[in-house]
Amino acid sequence: MKLPWDKQYLKISFHVIFTLLVIFGIALIIQNIVPISVSLGLFISKIFSLLSPFFVGVVIAYLLDPLVELYQKNLVEPLYLKYSQKKKHSKKSDKNELNKKENTRTISTLLTYITVISVILLVGLLFSSSIGNNKSFKNVDNLVDSIRAYTLSFNNMVYNIQQKLDSIGFLQEAEEAIQELSGKLGSLVQSITAKVIESITKAGNQVVNFTMAMVIAFYLLKDKAGFISLTNRLFKIILPNRILKSGEQLWRDVDHVLSGYIRGQLTDSLIMGILIGISVAIIGIDFPIIIGIIAGIANIIPYFGPIIGMIPAALMGLISDNPMKALYAGITLLILQQIDGAIIAPKIVGESVDVHPVAIVVALAVGGSLFGILGMLLAVPAAALLKLLLVRYMDSKSNA
């Protein structure tokens, strides 16, 4: 028997079935939204954790690129040109000219890494010498020996008391309590030991990740031209020409804001750290190098950073032989911060971050509440970039 199939009814039936399946799928997703979101979050977190050395390497390469360019233009390339002019009549120089030109970027990157590592070692040396030369830390070895002797004496005392209690036979009921207390102490020690081992393992993983990031940054800096060329070719294949041009303009805006802010803030923080360290040393407060380093790092955070930088100087002044040093340090750092805000920061950072103070405070509050210290560090350049994009959008609409 032939069934009366109608194409129109079949099409309607297909649409109905498809709609029901979509509704069922959406209901299933909504019903399991929490486990799905948790699993998706764990997956994304795992991906970011695995790729974190690459992301950190890109950031390091971006920050060190100006120093590489500085060495390249002012030292390596002039020396290479001078050397190539002397060897211009040699046949080998023509064959190897391309390789030598590529090697100049490698030399510039090596010089940059040597400079950065030397600065880190110098800061570490100054840091350790500042602690070692302080009166409070001159007898650290004697303090360690005293603690060891006290610990041994305490153990001997506990052993003698236990022997006397056993010989007397008194307080037999307390033995169970002592054993229970010993078990709890043992569990506590095991827990603390496990946490210490876990912290050491995490620290070791961070060191490995940072080392990998430094290696990745080295190759990104060394082969910068090749990576940029490859990226441009890939984007030209994937993206339409209109979107590609918009993306290039967006990247120029991002680079303008980030380079002007981050590199400028790092330079400003270095200057302020040196000035604050010298100032507290003149006042006579202990650990001037450490205070200068802390204040310089804290100075990266706008508005709240200078306040954080004042705390170590004030505390060390209060516990010094003359508590008035805390007041002197506070006044000095306040004057330095005013000079920084009025003269140093505007000259160094420039006009790349032209954001109203109210917008900066709001951006810092939002960034800090959402992402902590990292959010506070990136809040101002993000606000500046948002303002720049908004201005560009309004200009394009007004000119249309």
Its sign, for the CA torsion 385, 387, 389, 395, is negative
- Residue 114: the pLDDT is 93
Q: If you ran DSSP here, which 8-state letter would residue 300 be given?
A: T
- pTM listed for this prediction: 0.64
C-alpha–C-alpha distance, residues 380 and 301, integer Å: 9
The answer to whether residues 313 and 291 touch, using CB atoms and an 8 Å cutoff, is: yes
Q: What is the DSSP letter of 303?
A: T
CA distance 112 to 214: 12
Q: What distance separates the 2 farthest-apart alpha carbons in the chain?
A: 110
Q: Which residues contact 212 (CB under 8 A, 6 or more apart)?
A: 53, 57
Side chain identity at 46, as an amino acid letter? K
Question: How many CB atoms lie under 10 A from the CB of residue 115?
Answer: 14
Residue 317: is it exposed, middle or buried by C-beta count within 10 angstroms (0-12/13-18/19+)? buried
- Predicted pLDDT of residue 233: 85
- Cα separation, 226 vs 157, whole angstroms: 71
Per-residue buried b or exposed e for 191-201, using 16+ beta carbons within 10 Å of the residue's own CB: eeeeeeeeeee
Cα 299 to Cα 308: distance, rounded to the nearest angstrom: 8
Taking a C-beta distance cutoff of 8 angstroms, is the pair 296, 273 a contact? yes
Burial degree of 296 (CB within 10 A; 0-12, 13-18, 19+): buried
CA–CA dist 307, 298 (Å, integer): 8
The per-residue pLDDT string of the chain (400 residues; one tens digit each, 9 = 90 and over) reads 455 556 676 677 777 788 888 887 787 777 777 676 677 777 777 777 788 888 889 888 988 888 898 898 888 888 888 777 766 555 444 445 555 556 788 889 999 999 999 988 887 787 776 665 555 444 445 545 655 665 676 667 666 666 665 665 555 555 566 666 666 766 776 778 777 777 787 777 888 888 899 999 999 998 888 888 888 888 888 878 877 777 777 788 777 777 777 777 888 888 888 888 888 888 888 788 888 888 888 887 766 777 777 888 888 888 777 888 888 888 888 888 888 877 777 777 665 566 776 777 788 788 878 777 777 777 878 888 888 788 777 877 776 5
φ, ψ at 331 (rounded to 5°)? -65, -45
